[in-house]
Amino acid sequence: MKTILRHFLINLVALFLTTNFIPGLTYSGGVKSLLIGAAVFMIINIILVPLLKILLLPLNLLTLGLFAWVANVLALYALTSIVSNFRLIPYFFPGYYGGGFQSPAMDLSPFWVAVLASLIIGIITHFLQWLSH
């Protein structure tokens, strides 16, 4: 029970921070839909993601682990398909310049928003799991 609650809270924080950081991943309905989304995302991460990683294992081995993010992108697409309050919308990234690093402005399609959001969710999730152990 403690493990399930920990996974739920980690997914809740990761979804909340990602939706605040990336305007292309949105949810409507307030806290209730965020709680439902976190519960569904937890179930997807427990059941669907390990199966996808097994199915994608040959490609993951060929690319030395770079293909593992596909399972996370598909999990995010599953979340937006199951919970209608979560949506992936196109987003205009205005660019960034700071500390000698420059990123150009670009339009991101829902696919690239899903890739970016899954990357950020993965970073937040791994960091929070590291903190909780």
45-97 tens-digit pLDDT: 999 989 988 998 888 888 888 778 888 999 999 999 999 999 999 989 888 88
User: What confidence category does residue 100 fall into, taking pLDDT thresholds of 50, 70 and 90?
Assistant: confident
The C-alpha R_g of the chain, in whole angstroms, comes to 15
Mean pLDDT (whole number) for 16-45: 94
**Type of residue at 24:** G
Instruction: Give the residue carrying structure tokens 């060929």.
Output: 62
CA 29/CA 23 separation, integer angstroms: 16
DSSP state of 109: -
Predicted confidence at residue 103, as pLDDT, reads 86
Per-residue model confidence (pLDDT) at position 17: 96
Place of tokens 């403690």: 2
